């Protein structure tokens, strides 16, 4: 079945010259007579030659390949970010080697090992714990430039994301404006996502400042089966909850479903706000109020930092680039104790975060 692939040597033979000349012509990396060039081009074309990038990479010590690790592909935020990475990488002539960690550190380490073995020139990734990550340690030890996406490390690290604390304070503000005081926070396991933790932090802080009770906390797994029951228990344990903030849109959507399964209405009985701003959130009914974040831009930004670093033979700056976010209101947000959603009465104003990227570390 597998015919031997045509190599530079075959082209040289057919063109009647040495492999050096072929290389020079095809790479335009040195002098060649018009005559020789023509023969080489013709031969390469006739043979359907294309370079074996393995040999090339081995020699040049650069693979033109970027490693990408995301926790999961089922959450559209990561898919959206990867599209950004793809676009940027392709434009710069890089390919991407993709791996999923499933929010699991051992898988993450294994993945990064393999990627390093394949001699990636750089990495763009979202890690489980950016402040104590064996994967990142490996990358540093090998001198592979990397940039995080989504992650918001405390320690200075190259990263592109949003200020989760500020964004969540904004979410709290919107709820406060709509008259909510008794809230709940629904999060994926904190130990697998520092974002969820920071979102909780910002949200709680703002509510406490406003003299509200601490939001009731519910931590769940990646793909919660028993959300109905657990949410029911939470509502039973905490009387008078009128609003729920979820640490991401997928969870928010699941929450809406669960809330309804409990016989409650959204937003009349419970308002729901999500985080991320995935496309689907705008297509459902009621539309999901959420913190809209620029996912493809995170991918693009992180990728461009890495590529620039590679080109300049250095490491990306160990700072977090905070991208702008905005609050996108939706039918899932209503006034506390009202029978109508807020935006059918006094529409909650759409607020946008300053568009200038702020550079800051940690939270």
Partner DNA sequence: ATGAAAGCGCTAACAC
Partner DNA sequence: GTGTTAGCGCTTTCAT
What residues line the site for DNA (CB under 7 A)? 4-5, 7-9, 16-21, 23-24, 26-27, 29-33, 35-37, 51-52, 54-56, 58-61
Binding site partner of 82, from a copy of itself, DNA, none, Cβ cut-off 5-8 A by kind: a copy of itself
Place of tokens 């990142």: 136
Residue 104 near residue 135 (C-beta atoms within 8 A): no
Question: Angle formed by the axes of helices 134-142 and 105-117, to 10°?
Answer: 20
Binding site partner of 18, from a copy of itself, DNA, none, Cβ cut-off 5-8 A by kind: DNA
Binding site partner of 142, from DNA, a copy of itself, none, Cβ cut-off 5-8 A by kind: a copy of itself
- Provide, rounded to whole angstroms, the least separation between the CB of residue 14 and DNA: 12
Of 3 and 225, nearer to DNA (C-beta) is 3
Q: Which residues, 215 to 254, sit near a copy of itself by CB under 8 A?
A: 253-254
Residue 244 near residue 184 (C-beta atoms within 8 A): yes
Give backbone dihedrals phi and psi of 187, rounded to 5 degrees, phi first.
-130, 155
Helix (H, G, I), strand (E, B) or coil at 271: strand
Site string for a copy of itself, 317-336 (x = CB under 8 A): --------------------
Q: Give CA–CA dist 48/70, Å, rounded.
A: 36
Binding site partner of 97, from a copy of itself, DNA, none, Cβ cut-off 5-8 A by kind: a copy of itself
75, 252, 64: which is closest to 149 by C-alpha? 75
Residue 42 interacts with a copy of itself (CB under 8 A): yes or no: no
Q: In the chain, count H helices and then E strands.
A: 13, 13
Place of tokens 């990867």: 82
Q: Give CA–CA dist 51/294, Å, rounded.
A: 37
**Percentage helix, strand, coil for the chain under 3-state DSSP, each rounded to 5:** 45, 15, 40
- Provide, rounded to whole angstroms, the least separation between the CB of residue 74 and a copy of itself: 7
Judged by the rule CB under 8 A, the positions of this chain that interact with a copy of itself are 1-3, 5, 48, 50-55, 57-58, 63, 65, 68, 72-74, 76, 79-80, 82-83, 86, 90, 95-100, 113-119, 141-143, 253-254, 256-257, 260, 279-280, 283-285, 313-315
């Amino acid at each position: 079945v597998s015919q031997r692939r045509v190599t530079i040597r075959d082209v040289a033979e057919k063109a009647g010259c040495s492999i050096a000349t072929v290389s020079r012509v095809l790479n335009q990396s040195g002098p060649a007579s018009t005559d020789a060039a023509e023969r080489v081009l013709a031969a390469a074309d006739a043979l359907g030659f294309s370079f074996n990038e393995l040999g090339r990479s081995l020699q040049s010590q650069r693979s033109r390949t970027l490693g990408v690790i995301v926790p999961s592909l089922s959450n559209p935020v990561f898919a959206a970010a990867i599209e950004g990475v793809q676009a940027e990488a392709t434009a710069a002539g890089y390919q991407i080697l993709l791996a999923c960690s499933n929010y699991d550190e051992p898988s993450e380490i294994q993945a990064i090992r393999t990627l390093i073995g394949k001699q990636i020139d750089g990495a763009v990734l979202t890690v489980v714990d950016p402040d104590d990550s064996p994967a990142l340690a490996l990358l540093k030890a090998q001198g592979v430039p990397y940039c995080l996406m989504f992650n918001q490390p405390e320690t200075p690290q190259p990263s592109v994301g949003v200020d989760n604390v500020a964004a969540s304070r904004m979410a709290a503000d919107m709820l406060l404006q709509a008259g909510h005081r008794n809230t709940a926070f629904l999060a994926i396991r904190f130990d697998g996502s520092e974002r969820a933790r920071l979102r909780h932090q910002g949200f709680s802080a703002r509510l406490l400042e406003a003299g509200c009770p601490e939001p009731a906390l519910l931590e769940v797994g990646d793909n919660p089966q028993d959300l109905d029951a657990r949410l029911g228990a939470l509502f039973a344990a905490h009387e008078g909850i009128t609003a729920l903030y979820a640490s991401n849109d997928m969870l928010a959507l699941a929450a809406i479903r669960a809330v309804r399964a409990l016989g409650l209405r959204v937003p009349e009985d419970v308002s729901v706000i999500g985080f991320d701003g995935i496309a689907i959130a705008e297509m459902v009914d009621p539309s999901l109020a959420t913190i809209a974040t620029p996912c493809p831009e995170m991918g693009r930004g992180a990728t461009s930092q890495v590529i620039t670093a590679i080109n300049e033979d250095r490491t990306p700056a160990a700072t977090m680039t905070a991208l702008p976010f905005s609050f996108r209101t939706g039918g899932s947000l209503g006034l506390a104790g009202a029978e109508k959603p807020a935006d059918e009465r006094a529409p909650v104003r759409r607020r946008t975060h300053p568009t200038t990227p702020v550079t800051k570390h940690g939270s």
